[in-house]
Amino acid sequence: MIALTILLFIGILALLIVAHEWGHFIVARKAGIRVDEFGFGFPPKIFSVKKGQTVYSVNLIPLGGFVKIHGEDGEGQGDPDSFTSRSVPTRIAVVLAGVTMNFLLAAVLLSFGFWYGLPQVVDGQTGRTVRDAKVTILQIAPNSPAETAGIKMGDAIVGVSFLGAREDISEVKAAQEYINAHRGQEFTLVLERGSEQLEKQVTPRTEVPPQEGALGVVLEKTGIVSYPWYRAIQEGVTATGEMTLTFLKTFYIIIAHLVSEGKLVADIAGPVGIGALTYQVTQLGFSYIIQFAAILCINLAIINSLPFPALDGGRTIFLLIEGVKGSPVSRRFEYIVHATGFVLLILLMIVVTVRDVVKLF
């Protein structure tokens, strides 16, 4: 399972990065701009091949990728195939093409997922096929009996057992009634975690904190939901838009609290944390992997859109300033700003990675 997780993690990362960089690459080429290198990962270089004017390389550190566009750093003034020789709108299109491609990829992944089948809350909606419906744990409260017992989000309750008497569970109401009827009594929850079935001993609380249940879980009936292909495309595009708005609101809340209170109100995962999540998703099945890849894709697009130096959003800000004032910002000043931003991003990645490693142990 560990080997499969590593391969899946690298595969998802490669898909997202290649799609992003291919967006820059294809729009630059369509605009007649020369691309000197298309690289996956960061140097040192493992191997490379040259086709036409472009070197295609695979590098040792698989935490990103790049396209080296002729003239993007201000060189090649006057060259007909240089980035600097193109209009501001064309250059903005090239810079934002990676973000656009990530959003398109997310829509494609979700559209395929809705055709194949994605995990969703099951309700009375018609026009779709539902399979493998079960009572699923969607949230777990901190310091709750469920957390203490080692129950995880995504676990499905398929049965309960008390004093040797086993009952199957298929509805949320039945699970809630059983839990409430056994407050203060230890009983066994029979859970499904991916393809594994396990048992957890739990004792629901007699005194329940506000906004929590006796066990400290949020339950919903979920299933693998699929649509006809034409409806799947609509659902995929809609879901991409809804997820984007949700993540934008979340980013706003995180940044607002960080600025006003100096603390994070949500966990931020780095490569190690995402790898750990990949392991959990791998256990749940292919449908969850598709959804997970789409979520990462949208997050990558949003992060790159932020107006921060070294990111696509930061580079776009400089181009907009150039468009307004009619001349480029000082190349030296822009280089210093982007270099500083890149260093800060690397430092943030290191801090988050160290924290992720500490959490694992």
What was the pLDDT predicted at 272?
62
Could you tell me the residue range of the domain that residue 153 belongs to? 129-226
Asked whether the predicted pLDDT for residue 126 surpasses 70, the reply is: no
Q: Give residue 107's pLDDT band: very low, low, confident or very high (50, 70, 90).
A: very high
Higher pLDDT, 359 or 135: 135
Question: Angle 6-10-12 (CA atoms, 0-180°, nearest 5)?
Answer: 115
The DSSP-derived string for 141-204 is -TTSHHHHTT--TT-EEEEEEETTEEEE--SHHHHHHHHHHTTT--EEEEEEETTEEEEEEE--
264 with 69: CB under 8 angstroms? Answer: no
The verdict on residue 148 lying in a domain is yes
- Looking at the structure, do residues 104 and 143 belong to the same domain, yes or no? no
Q: Which of 192, 226, 260 is the last residue of a domain?
A: 226
- Looking at the structure, do residues 70 and 104 belong to the same domain, yes or no? yes
Q: How many domains does one find in the chain?
A: 2
The verdict on residue 258 lying in a domain is no
The verdict on residue 243 lying in a domain is no
- Rounded Cα–Cα distance for residues 155 and 265 (Å): 25
- What residues are paired with 139 via a beta bridge? 218
- Rounded Cα–Cα distance for residues 39 and 62 (Å): 10
The verdict on residue 247 lying in a domain is no
- Looking at the structure, do residues 14 and 109 belong to the same domain, yes or no? yes
- Looking at the structure, do residues 6 and 110 belong to the same domain, yes or no? yes
Give per-residue pLDDT as tens, 274-330.
Answer: 666 777 777 777 888 898 899 989 988 998 998 888 889 999 999 999 899 888 888
The verdict on residue 158 lying in a domain is yes
- Looking at the structure, do residues 276 and 354 belong to the same domain, yes or no? yes
Asked whether the predicted pLDDT for residue 167 surpasses 90, the reply is: no
The verdict on residue 146 lying in a domain is yes
CATH code, domain with 143:
2.30.42.10
Q: Give residue 262's pLDDT band: very low, low, confident or very high (50, 70, 90).
A: low
Give per-residue pLDDT as tens, 5-27.
Answer: 778 888 888 888 889 999 999 99
- Looking at the structure, do residues 199 and 95 belong to the same domain, yes or no? no
What was the pLDDT predicted at 131?
83
- Looking at the structure, do residues 276 and 204 belong to the same domain, yes or no? no
- Across residues 180-193, what is the average pLDDT? 89
- Rounded Cα–Cα distance for residues 50 and 9 (Å): 27
The verdict on residue 20 lying in a domain is yes
pTM of the model: 0.80
- Looking at the structure, do residues 99 and 12 belong to the same domain, yes or no? yes
- Looking at the structure, do residues 6 and 76 belong to the same domain, yes or no? yes
Q: Copy the structure tokens of residue 323.
A: 């468009």
- Looking at the structure, do residues 74 and 142 belong to the same domain, yes or no? no
